[in-house]
Structure 1
């Protein structure tokens, strides 16, 4: 059962990682955020990206905050998944 919980955590982590990546790539296409997919992606990702946009201002037309956010998500996610794995082992599920 513990491995199932861990795999679900990994799956959710991976899905959100790809949604962030889609958001970054979609920003290169002006009409992307006018589509249903773009609106949905923006609603899911903007709360997370706005944390970084407060501290990292754009450089001209280039917004580097999504890239920093993706890198941070990668490290924080790995740390959280490792913590989840250790908790599952400690509990003995």
Structure 2
């Protein structure tokens, strides 16, 4: 059972970094630092969008419009942090 908990925590950690990478990529793309016409860059952007958008879309429906500032990644990171700590401090010790 401990292996399952560790695998779930690892998946949460990987998704955490994918959200951060997606936010950084969107900033670089918005400020024209990277070339969106490059096929490799477009592939990375498409991958990050497809991985993170299903989790960010429901949060965006409930957050207010802040004039171009998207706080949904921050909210999702807070949710993932809470979930990770809940599993690590509450569920994992109960199974040991």
- TM-score range, shorter-chain basis? 0.7 to 0.9
Distance 2:18 2:94 in 1: 27
TM-score when normalising by structure 1: 0.75
Query: Residue 27 of structure 2 aligns with which residue?
Result: 28
**Any idea what the Cα deviations from partners look like across 1:22-57, whole Å, max 9, x if unmatched?**
1111110223xx621111111111011111100113
Q: 1:72 aligns with which of 79, 84, 87?
A: 79
Q: Say whether 1:60 aligns with 2:76.
A: no
Query: Residue 8 of structure 1 aligns with which residue?
Result: 7
SS of the aligned residue for 2:66 comes to coil
Q: CA deviation at 1:4?
A: 2.2
Report if aligned partners of 1:23, 1:42 keep a CA contact under 8 Å in 2. yes
What CA RMSD, in Å, does the superposition of the two structures yield over aligned residues?
2.2
Structure 2, unaligned runs of 5 or more: 30-35
Report if aligned partners of 2:12, 2:80 keep a CA contact under 8 Å in 1. no
Q: CA deviation at 1:84?
A: 4.3
